[in-house]
Amino acid sequence: MRLYREVVELRCDESFKAWSHGLPYETVKWHFHPEYEIHLVTSTSGRTFVGDYVGRFAPGNLAFLGPNLPHNWVSDVAPGEIVAQRGLVVQFGDGFIRRAIESFPELRPATVLLDESLGGLEYDEAAAEAALPLMTALQTAQGIARLELFFGLMRVLATCGRRRRLSSVHYQPCARDYVHKALEHVLLHIDRDLAGNIRESQMAALAGYTQSSFSRAFRRQTGQSFVHYINEKRIARSCDLLLHTNGSIIEICFQVGFKNVSNFNRQFLLHRKITPSAWRRAHRLAEAQGLAQTRAA
């Protein structure tokens, strides 16, 4: 299977990412990322691929994967079948969790769990049942409530004795080897200058490729075309600005690198299935409701 690198986007007010997805979905393929991942299947059955492990999964399958460990869950569904929610996902970086452990001595036992996760861990039904309400609540939680739920989830993973390693003890993740250093340099350049005039020809030259070779290499490593990747990054950053600033749609459009509002609206609708203004209203309403519930509690 071709191996893809997933780019995990965090908002400026997030320490970790909590989300869900259905089927079909773009990251349901053989892929890796530098972040840890907690993955809970909520519907469908199929085959699990983690490192050199191949097995079966069903609803209630809970796994904890370390950085750069290739993985995929392939559901047994009919071609064209749509599943509203296949799984719940939490992703976080090594820097975040290591800083937390340094700050709070009570978290030090979690270092053992992090080390074990490098080979991929699968949990029993009891752990999955305990994790489900926490991961569900994380989808909409705000502020301190998110941290409370996250560390509650980590407690479940760390204290559950019935977990097993998935990949063999001899397996060593080598996913980083699949991404050429030149392409990593391009990805970092894009992050730093996302609002600028980023041209594929310039990035190809930066990486030392011809444009046609760069296009193939970029798609092979990210699973996306160069243009789709840039647009997705810009839309993700615009969501951050829509939620956490009072900038107008026009201002945000130019801040993230789009040259005209009509294209910004078109790309936002393509990537988020909703207009920017409707997205802002919906998320600010959800944020206000979550804050009111926290105050009431």
**Percentage of residues in the chain having pLDDT higher than 70:** 91
Q: So what's the architecture of 4-165 in CATH?
A: Sandwich (2.60)
Query: Domain limits of the chain?
Result: 4-165, 179-283
Pick from 50-54, 67-71, 204-208, 254-258: least confident: 204-208
CA-to-CA distance for 4 and 164, rounded, in angstroms?
A: 26
Name, in order, each residue with C-beta under 8 angstroms of 150's C-beta and a sequence gap of 6 or more.
15, 16, 18, 90, 92, 138
- Region 146-154: what's the mean pLDDT? 96
pTM: 0.68
The structure tokens listed for 89 are 């996902």
Fold held by 179-283 = Arc Repressor Mutant, subunit A (1.10.10)
Which contacts of 171-175 are long-range, i.e. CB under 8 A and separated by 24 or more positions? Answer: 171/51, 171/52, 171/119, 173/32, 173/51, 173/66, 173/67, 173/68, 173/69, 173/70, 173/118, 175/3, 175/5, 175/32, 175/68, 175/69, 175/70
- Region 99-127: what's the mean pLDDT? 93
Pick from 117-131, 221-235, 264-278: least confident: 221-235
**Percentage of residues in the chain having pLDDT higher than 90:** 56
Q: What is the DSSP string of 160-179?
A: ---EEE-S-TT----GGGGS
**Tell me: the pLDDT tens digits for 168-214?**
987 776 555 555 667 777 888 888 888 899 999 989 888 888 888 88
Report whether 119 contacts 171 (CB < 8 A): yes
Confidence tier at 258 by pLDDT (50, 70, 90): very high
- Region 211-232: what's the mean pLDDT? 85
In the predicted structure, residue 297 carries a pLDDT above the cut 60? no
Question: What sign does the CA torsion over 22, 28, 32, 38 have?
Answer: positive
